[in-house]
Amino acid sequence: MQITSPNRGRLLKIYLLLLLLSGLISCALIFLEPSEHGSAILGGYSPSRLSMGFLLITGLVLLGWFAYRVMRYPAVTARFIARIDPFVVHNHHLAHLILGLVLLALLLLGWMFYVPSAYASHLVLLQGVDHRTKPV
């Protein structure tokens, strides 16, 4: 089934809005729980939590700008879709390579947090990760 160009624009708008919503929820979840008392420096948050929040907010601002451009200028959206269409639709090897790399990155990220959890109680840096991943 091939999706027509107007449907692709509509799907892109829905996807971007859902992505922004999930980013806002993630940002709220990062800042709802304060850090441990020993590592808090600004507003009760640790440097790692503040940097993670800053990166997330920066990404949300960029994503919001892109979503605004997509919503406001449909001609630009149509040109963008026409530009990436040959790479995504007609070049299946590139799409499979990108999907495989994203999956590999997610697996490595999950492994990085899951495997060290057995030893995290001995490492001060990973104690927070260990505490939060025990229920999983």
Cα separation, 20 vs 11, whole angstroms: 14
pLDDT tens digits along 70-90:
888 888 878 877 787 776 667
**Residues 15, 67 within the same domain:** yes
Give me the domain span that covers residue 115.
Answer: 92-136
Q: When comparing pLDDT for 110 and 120, which is higher? A: 110
Last-in-domain residue among 90, 111, 128: 90
pLDDT value, residue 52 = 81
The rounded Cα 9 to chain-centroid distance in angstroms is: 21
**Residues 100, 40 within the same domain:** no
Last-in-domain residue among 90, 112, 127: 90
Residue 3 · residue 11 · CB < 8 Å: yes
**Residues 124, 75 within the same domain:** no
Residue 136 reports pLDDT greater than 70: no
**Residues 15, 63 within the same domain:** yes
Residue 119 · residue 132 · CB < 8 Å: no
**Residues 21, 47 within the same domain:** yes
**Residues 83, 113 within the same domain:** no
**Residues 54, 100 within the same domain:** no
**Residues 78, 101 within the same domain:** no
